[in-house]
Structure 1
Amino acid sequence: MPNPLRPYNARFRRLLGRPEPDFMAGAVESWTEAPSDIRRVRPALHLPGQLERVRASVFANLAETVSALTRDGEMREGATTGWRFRNVDLIDGVLYGDGAELHLRNRQRRYGLALRPQQAVSGALYETWTTNRWFGSWLMEGPAAWLLASRRHMAMTTAAQPKPGSHAARYEQIMGIAPQRIAGDVHFDELILFGDMSNNADKRRRQQQMREKLLAGRDPKPVPGVFLLRGTAGDLRLLRNERELAERLAAERGFLVIDPLAATADELIEACSAARAIVGVEGSQLVHGIIAAPQNAAILPIQPPDRVAATLKGLTDRLDQRFGLLVAEGNDTVFTLNWRDLAATLDLFD
């Protein structure tokens, strides 16, 4: 039965300083959805001195990030796990079980009353806090996770219907993503969740399957590369000389320069799906290029020294692409990149 006191119980627990219970420990059943396996991993290509520029990382600690970028050889990829729960409440973007909580998105009613869910459902959620927070995270993880939930014939999401004409709406249309959408607070009689972070063979197949859907019926023209502009969109990561670098790549190396905010999803897919290189500031806009780019394409994010991430490398590993580490000079929000570093790093892929 729905229990509107669960959010208050969780808040009191935090006020009392009690440890956070493990939400997954409340599952009534768990299973291996896809097994672990061994695969060959290639390190990020980089110039001498690039690793020394890295001062801080995001999404993992510095040692873990550097390891993810530089590991070379056969590595074990973890299994994909499924969990089944009963009697779970979804209230204001947070899942509440018996004494535990799992956040799917930021709460909107932080100081408001928790209402008793009026609707009871059963389903498989394929989202996480990060896929709801960042468009790029959704684009790189959501479609492959959707295929997992679809196997259960009960795929659900708390995400609203994308706006008509938006990138998200078109990607969902092309890839056939059509979940049942949850609006407001609900009670789950039965809930299935997945742990799908590892690049095992099953996840790699699902990622490739989605790329095949993106490219179906297209005949893209090969290009040396695509520079995807970031500008000041999204969380601030301002490459001061972004336009200068992009224009020089266009003039000297034949790159296409595209502002993703001014292009449709179809235009981005057509431009990037036969590109030999995808370049741009690390961020969501690069995922447009990575998910469409071919095998062995060079993926070169320009990273600020105080915010280096290995997240995109996981996606390029799934798609058998080559990844480069290129660290700018500055801080986590405003930085500059020397043209010589960019050109020389691209030359490493030849």
Structure 2
Amino acid sequence: MPSFRPLMNRLPRLFGAQPRAFADLAVERWEICPAEAVNITPGIWLPDQIEHIARTEFGDLPDVLGQMQGDPEEMTPATMGYRFRDVDFVDGVLYARGAERHLRERKGAGLTYPRPERSLSGALYESWIGNRWFGNWLLNDCLAYPLAAEAGRPVTSAPARGGHVARYEELLGMRPERIGNVHFDELILFDDLHNNSNRQARAQANRARIMAGRDLQPVPGVFIFRGASGDARILDNEAEIAERLEADYGFRTVYIDRHDADQIAELVGGTRLIVGVEGSQLAHGVIGMAPGGTVLTLQPADRVTTSLKLLTDCWRQNYAMVVGDGTAGGFRVEWDQIRRTLDMISDRNG
């Protein structure tokens, strides 16, 4: 039996009406953690770094500057749960009567779809950004999983995978039901992207699960090598920087294509300093490093972002940045900039 929900949802927009927010269709909503003021620590960067920025990503320059400035009393919205009825999940999109929410890029573009034959009730913890980037899956979606488990039946459209993802799911006790196209008799969703005390506590609980039973040894610092993995951010002198950090500071280098999740956890769990090109591979460091540590990101001038700072804020870590010369297709960061930034980090840590 075909469903015309994509067509019916699109018609109001053709006449200039704003699409309905998905949350407006909830039959029940509840507060998991109230809005509250939290301390957002300032970022660490050299005074001249603003002059190096050619273009920003995931926000305008004022957003970047605001994040780096910090705020000791930033008002953080509540974490919310929502219950819906009669929702279809088809081709990566949630369809309700009058609204839709995209969790994956659609493979088709029709205005109708066959209504799913399978029906169930469950709690979805996945997000568009988590399905797109590994780092957001590990540091956002995996934080929402405990909410889904507490609410009832955790479900995800993400297929079973191997490597780091499978091991993290095992370490975090994640056992979701994997779904394709389904009809939800009842569906629970969460608004859980705000770094209030509840979310910060869940972050530390996830870290404790990752580190449980490990005999962690102190490590001066860890460089997480990105190379050509993920979206292009090619640091032309990445190997040279890794070698210099090893020689001058006693760093250890992690290669995400060579080291498994347990090997990485053993290293990052014993350090207070993670360095690497800005990107999802640094999530291995964020989830494992203890509060009070620092993540230093190396960024191309045409793709400067503080999106990772939103996550280090949640894990109660410091965030630092060096902006290099060049583009995401090929850029360099001079050693003197790194050295002076490391001095600033040392000064903050006392």
Query: TM-score band, normalised by the shorter chain?
Result: over 0.9
Match of 1:179 among 156, 176, 179: 176
Asked whether the 8 Å contact 1:3–1:89 carries over to 2, the reply is no
Residue number in structure 2 paired with 1:328: 324
* Aligned residues between the structures: 346
Q: Distance in 1 between matches of 2:168 and 2:38?
A: 29
Q: Which residue of 2 aligns with 1:302?
A: 298
* Map of 2:342 onto structure 1: 346
Contact 2:4 2:112 in 1 (8 A): no
Farther-moved stretch of structure 1 (111-120 vs 30-39): 111-120
8 A Cα contact 2:220 2:249, kept in partner: yes
Contact 2:2 2:113 survives alignment (8 Å): no
Query: Which residue in the other structure is 2:36 paired with?
Result: 37
| Greater alpha carbon shift after TM alignment, 59-68 vs 210-219 | 59-68
TM-score scaled by structure 1?
Answer: 0.94
Identity of aligned residues (%): 42
Q: Give the SS at the match of 2:39.
A: strand
Q: 1:198 aligns with which of 176, 194, 198?
A: 194
Letter in 1 for 2:258: A
Q: CA–CA distance in 1 between the matches of 2:64 and 2:132?
A: 21
* Distance in 2, Cα, partners of 1:215 & 1:225: 17
Residues in 1 aligned to 2:329 and 2:31: alpha-carbon distance in whole angstroms:
40
In the TM superposition, residue 175 of structure 1 has moved relative to its aligned partner by: 0.8
1:337 and 2:336 matched? no
Q: Confirm whether residue 286 of structure 1 aligns to residue 282 of structure 2.
A: yes
Mind listing any 5+ residue stretches in structure 1 that lack a counterpart? none
**Partners of 1:269 and 1:279 in 2: how far apart?**
15
- For residue 16 of structure 1, report the CA deviation from its aligned partner: 5.8
- Whole-angstrom CA distance in 1 between matches of 2:116 and 2:61: 42
Give runs of aligned pairs for residues 44-123 of structure 1, distance below 5 A: 44-110=43-109, 114-123=113-122
Distance in structure 2 (CA, Å) of the matches to 1:203 and 1:286: 20
Alpha-carbon distance in 1 for matches of 2:343, 2:160: 43
Q: 2:273 aligns with which of 274, 277, 283?
A: 277
Give the secondary structure class of the aligned counterpart of 2:202.
helix
- Equivalent residue, structure 1, for 2:164: 167
Q: CA RMSD in A?
A: 1.7
Give the distance between the partners of 2:12 and 2:111, measured in 1 at CA.
18
User: Using the alignment, how far apart are the partners of 2:124 and 2:221 within structure 1?
Assistant: 36
Deviation at 1:112, TM superposition (A): 9.3
Question: Does the 8 Å contact 2:56/2:302 carry over to 1?
Answer: yes
Aligned amino acid, residue 9 of structure 1: M
- String of CA shifts for 1:110-145, please: whole Å, max 9, x gaps: 359622210111111111100011111101112210
Distance across 2 between alignment mates of 1:249 and 1:105: 39
> Equivalents in 2 of 1:28, 1:324: separation in Å?
43
Code of the aligned partner of 2:121: S
The secondary structure found in structure 2 opposite 1:262 is: coil
Q: Kindly provide the CA deviation profile for residues 70-116 of structure 1, in whole angstroms up to 9, marking residues without a partner as x.
A: 22322222110111111111110100111211000011223596222
**Poorly superposed stretches of 4+, deviation over 4 Å:** 11-18
Structure 2 length-normalised TM = 0.94
Which shows bigger deviation, 51-60 or 340-349?
51-60
Shift of 1:12: 5.1
| 2:5–2:111 contact (8 Å) kept in structure 1 | no
Counterpart of 2:216 in structure 1 is: 220
Partner AA of 2:22 in structure 1: F
Report the Cα offset of residue 29 of structure 1: 1.8
Deviation of 1:344 after TM superposition, in Å, equals 0.8
Query: 1:52: Cα distance to partner?
Result: 2.5
Residue type of the partner of 2:54?
R
Structure 2: which amino acid aligns with 1:27? A
Please state if 1:318 is matched with 2:295: no
Displacement of 1:276: 2.3
Contact map agreement 2:200 2:316 (CA 8 A) in 1: no
Give 3-state SS (helix, strand or coil) of 2:3's partner.
Answer: coil
Residue in structure 1 matched with residue 256 of structure 2 by the alignment: 260
Amino acid at match of 2:104: R
- Structure 2: runs of 5 or more not aligned: none
Residues 53 and 301, structure 2, Cα contact 8 Å, conserved in 1:
yes
- How many angstroms does 1:334 deviate by? 2.2
> Tell me, what secondary structure is at the counterpart of 2:147?
helix
Aligned to 1:235: 231
Alpha-carbon offset, residue 13 of structure 1: 5.2
State the SS of the aligned residue for 2:257. helix
Matched residues in 2 for 1:268 and 1:113: separation? 46
After superposition, what is the alpha-carbon deviation per residue over 1:240-284, rounded to whole angstroms, capped at 9, x for unaligned?
111111111111111111211111000000011011210000001
